[in-house]
């Protein structure tokens, strides 16, 4: 895959965010990694979506070093680089400040699996990482954001394969996929189930049990794994 095609895929992924009302202004970004070619491509920093073109997408090496004569990359680049290094099956990452997902990020709460819409994509609660310390914020903030995400997955013994999204406390979600297309789909589903979970909690006004484990299993595994049967 040449750089022009990578830039086209990343551009198209980024354009899906405002199209699906997942970002406002310049909030959010999409990246992808080509592990064979050993490059990462990410949206440039602070440019309105309407002014972007494929050639504006920034190409870096696997350590986030920008190739010459390009725009400044997203400020979240260090987070993406760290996550790619620690999640070898992830080939695309999305970050947004979508409304309902961020509500849970600001509350510091996991998004619980209350129904089958959630279970179709996320095999359990979508976690929220811990607060960063003052030192972690003031020194290498974006890198430390990646570190606390990895820490959360490891401490909860979960993987981006089964739970392809996580919230960062007081900030917002990072979403994963094996391709740009899949990462965008996971981002759309995340915002939808976050809204559903919030309204479920508001309506019930009490502790709500999560979906039965057997129903969670049924819906997740009919789409994922060797015995999946959903789709053509």
Q: Is 230 a catalytic residue?
A: yes
Within-domain flag for 15: yes
Q: Is residue 215 part of a domain?
A: yes
226 within some domain: no
Instruction: Tell whether 231 is covered by a domain.
Output: no
Residue in 63, 67, 212, 230 annotated catalytic: 230
| 16-44 pLDDT, tens digit each | 999 999 999 988 999 999 999 999 999 99
Whether 220 is a known active-site residue: answer no
* Residue 165 belongs to domain with CATH number: 3.40.225.10
Within a domain: 230: no
Establish if 232 belongs to a structural domain: no
Structural domain span for residue 190: 3-221
Considering just the CA atoms, what is the radius of gyration of the chain in Å?
Answer: 17
pLDDT confidence of 230, banded at 50, 70, 90?
confident
pTM: 0.92
pLDDT tens for 38-90 read 999 999 999 999 999 999 999 999 999 999 899 999 999 999 999 999 999 99
Tokens 């309407």 map to which residue?
A: 50
Q: How many domains, in total, are found in the chain?
A: 1
Average pLDDT over residues 100-109: 97
Burial 79-115 (b: 16+ CB within 10 A, else e): bbbbbbebbeebbbbbbbbbebbbbbbeeebbbbbbb
Q: Which of 56, 120, 161, 221 is catalytic?
A: 120
In a domain, 59, yes or no: yes
Q: Measured between alpha carbons, how far is 206 from 148 in angstroms, rounded to an integer? A: 30
In a domain, 205, yes or no: yes
């Amino acid at each position: 895959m040449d750089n022009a095609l990578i830039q086209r895929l990343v551009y198209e992924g980024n354009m899906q965010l405002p199209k699906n009302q997942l970002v406002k202004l310049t909030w959010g970004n999409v990246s992808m990694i080509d592990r064979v070619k050993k490059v990462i491509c990410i949206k440039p920093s602070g440019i309105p979506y309407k002014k972007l073109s494929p050639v504006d997408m920034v190409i870096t090496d696997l350590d986030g070093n920008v190739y010459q004569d390009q725009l400044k990359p997203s400020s979240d680049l260090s987070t993406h680089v760290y996550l790619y290094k620690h999640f070898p099956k992830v080939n695309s990452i999305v970050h947004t400040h979508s409304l309902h997902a961020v509500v849970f990020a600001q509350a510091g709460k996991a998004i619980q699996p209350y129904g089958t819409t959630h279970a179709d994509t996320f095999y359990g609660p979508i976690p929220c990482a811990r607060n960063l310390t003052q030192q972690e914020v003031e020194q290498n903030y974006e890198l430390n954001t990646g570190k606390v995400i990895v820490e959360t997955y490891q401490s909860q013994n979960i993987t981006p394969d089964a739970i392809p999204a996580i919230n960062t406390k007081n900030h917002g979600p990072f979403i994963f996929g094996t391709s740009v297309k899949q990462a965008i789909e996971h981002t759309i589903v995340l915002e939808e189930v976050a809204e559903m979970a919030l309204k479920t909690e508001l309506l019930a006004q009490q502790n709500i049990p999560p979906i039965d484990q057997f129903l969670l299993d049924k819906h997740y595994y009919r789409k994922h794994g060797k015995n999946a049967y959903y789709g053509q």
